[in-house]
């Protein structure tokens, strides 16, 4: 059975991406990061999702990106709340973590090479890449090229590394429909950037996009929220 390393934050997108890897017939090696994120509670969700979706192994690697800061997720910068879609799409948001996906994919590449795996799965998608540079298709292609020059396996031809992004063209509603068709239990996931007392805030960009996605998919979000914005975006 071919092995794939799957980045798993514990959120809706990465859970769906992991389910896609399983559906494609891979034995999955789930990888999470304890990187100093404000919403560290997502790591509990990652462990639940990895077990639920039958990952062969789940590893959590510590890497202190808070040592550098530079983001609302890794420094004392407020997480924006109650923004409308047009505000979210106007430029790269303050929740962007400098070079985060590059750091995560690099570490995933290291594990893949040791495992003898050539396939990596990442849950980036169209909603993200309007805002985050390291979720865009041209970035993913450039990482793939670099990865095949960076490694013994790539250079010697034992592996041709491929970054799979099964959600890249999907809306949030499309991701939810796909995940439900693959048996993903979204009650196990966590999306909020700024949770309190274990509850999602219902007001940050991530909560608003998730709520709008469930509304557009026509299914209820199984999560509990501290508050639900009356001005929640429509998906």
Which chain residues interact with a copy of itself by CB under 8 A?
A: 59, 61-65, 67-70, 92, 96-103, 105-107, 109-111, 113-114, 133-134, 136, 138-139, 142-143, 145-147, 149-152, 154-156
Residue number with CB closer to a copy of itself (118 or 232):
118
Residue number with CB closer to a copy of itself (143 or 214):
143
Smallest CA-to-CA distance from 193 within 178, 213, 208 is with 208
Residue number with CB closer to a copy of itself (51 or 68):
68
Q: How many CB atoms lie within 10 A of CB 82?
A: 17
How many whole angstroms separate alpha carbon 180 and alpha carbon 107?
29
The least distance separating a copy of itself from the CB of residue 210, rounded to whole angstroms, comes to 23
Asked if 74 contacts 39 with a C-beta cutoff of 8 angstroms, the reply is: no
Residue number with CB closer to a copy of itself (151 or 165):
151
Helices (H), 95-184: 100-115, 126-129, 137-150, 152-156, 172-181
Tokens of 226: 């501290």
Smallest CA-to-CA distance from 229 within 129, 115, 13, 215 is with 215
Residue number with CB closer to a copy of itself (111 or 225):
111
The least distance separating a copy of itself from the CB of residue 25, rounded to whole angstroms, comes to 24
Please provide the distance, in angstroms rounded to a whole number, between the alpha carbons at the two ends of the chain: 38
The least distance separating a copy of itself from the CB of residue 153, rounded to whole angstroms, comes to 8
Residue number with CB closer to a copy of itself (46 or 109):
109
The least distance separating a copy of itself from the CB of residue 155, rounded to whole angstroms, comes to 4
- Axis-axis angle for helices 42-52, 12-23 (nearest 10): 20
The least distance separating a copy of itself from the CB of residue 190, rounded to whole angstroms, comes to 23
Residue 69 CB partners (closer than 8 Å, separation 6+)? 75
The least distance separating a copy of itself from the CB of residue 174, rounded to whole angstroms, comes to 25
How many whole angstroms separate alpha carbon 53 and alpha carbon 63?
25
């Amino acid at each position: 059975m071919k092995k794939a390393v799957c980045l798993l934050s514990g959120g809706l997108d990465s859970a769906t991406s992991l389910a896609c890897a399983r559906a494609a017939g891979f034995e999955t090696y789930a990888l999470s990061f304890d990187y100093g994120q404000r919403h560290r509670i997502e790591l509990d969700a990652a462990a639940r999702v990895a077990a639920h979706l039958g990952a062969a192994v789940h590893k959590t690697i510590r890497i202190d990106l808070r040592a550098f800061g530079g983001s609302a997720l890794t420094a004392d910068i407020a997480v924006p709340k109650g923004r409308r879609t047009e505000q979210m799409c106007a430029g790269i948001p303050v929740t962007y973590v400098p070079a985060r996906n590059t750091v995560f994919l690099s570490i995933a590449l290291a594990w893949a090479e040791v495992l003898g795996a050539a396939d990596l799965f990442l849950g980036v998608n169209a909603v993200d890449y309007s805002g985050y540079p390291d979720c865009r298709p041209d970035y993913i292609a450039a990482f793939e090229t670099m990865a095949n020059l960076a490694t013994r396996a790539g250079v010697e031809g034992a592996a041709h590394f491929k970054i799979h992004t099964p959600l890249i063209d999907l809306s949030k509603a499309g991701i939810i429909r796909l995940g439900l068709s693959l048996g993903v239990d979204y009650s196990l996931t966590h999306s909020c950037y700024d949770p309190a007392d274990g509850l999602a805030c219902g007001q940050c960009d991530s909560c608003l996009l998730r709520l709008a996605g469930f509304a557009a998919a026509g299914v209820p979000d199984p999560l509990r929220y501290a508050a639900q914005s009356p001005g929640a975006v429509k998906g």
